[in-house]
């Protein structure tokens, strides 16, 4: 059985609900507390490919930091957005679950069942 990886924030209710759902599915889980161990640019780029998303789609636009860093600027490149998320991981939407090279955001938590 391949591992199920969750990019988890224990303070987030959706992240906790998703982790509980995975545990209930008897998954071999690897928990990545991404606020303590942010992904590298390479890791985040891979995650985006697995998610089938553009960097802007993974940004938490309601975070105060999003406005402070002026990330709503359409002139920013994908690379700049990825670097901003790596430097400030709380800007990354959560939770992200990866299984067999596929990734999905656990919003709602039940969405992760599609890749298990």
pTM: 0.94
SS3 string of the chain?
A: CCCEEEEECCCCHHHHHHHHHHHHCCCCEEEEECCCCCCCHHHHHHHHHHHCCCHHHHECCCCHHHHHCCCCCCCCCHHHHHHHHHHCHHHECCCEEEECCEEEECCCHHHHHHHC
pLDDT digits (tens, 9 = 90+) for 40-85: 999 999 999 999 999 999 999 999 999 999 999 999 999 999 999 9
pLDDT band at 2 (very low <50, low <70, confident <90, very high): confident
In this predicted structure, what is the pLDDT of residue 25?
94
- d(C-alpha 7, C-alpha 15), whole Å: 8
Q: Which residues are catalytic?
A: 12
Tell me whether residue 52 is exposed, middle or buried, using C-beta atoms within 10 angstroms of its C-beta: 0 to 12, 13 to 18, 19 or more: exposed
pLDDT digits (tens, 9 = 90+) for 10-51: 999 999 999 999 999 999 999 999 999 999 999 999 999 999
Q: Which domains does the chain have, with CATH numbers?
A: 4-115 (3.40.30.10)
Q: What is the mean pLDDT of residues 84-88?
A: 98
pLDDT band at 1 (very low <50, low <70, confident <90, very high): low
Whether the CB-CB separation of 34 and 27 falls below 8 Å is answered with no
Q: Is the dihedral of CA 88, 83, 112, 22 positive or negative?
A: negative
Residue 38 in tokens: 């942010």
């Amino acid at each position: 059985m391949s591992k199920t990886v969750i990019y988890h924030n224990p303070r987030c209710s959706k992240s906790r609900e998703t982790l509980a759902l995975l545990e209930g599915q008897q998954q071999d889980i690897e928990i990545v507390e991404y606020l303590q161990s942010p992904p590298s640019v390479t890791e985040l780029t891979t995650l985006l490919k697995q998610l089938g998303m553009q960097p802007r789609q993974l940004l938490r636009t309601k975070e105060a930091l999003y406005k402070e860093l002026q990330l709503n600027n359409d002139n920013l490149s994908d690379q700049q957005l990825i670097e901003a998320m790596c430097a400030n991981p709380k800007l990354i939407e959560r939770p992200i679950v990866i299984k067999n090279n596929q990734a999905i955001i656990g919003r709602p938590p039940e969405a992760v069942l599609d890749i298990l």
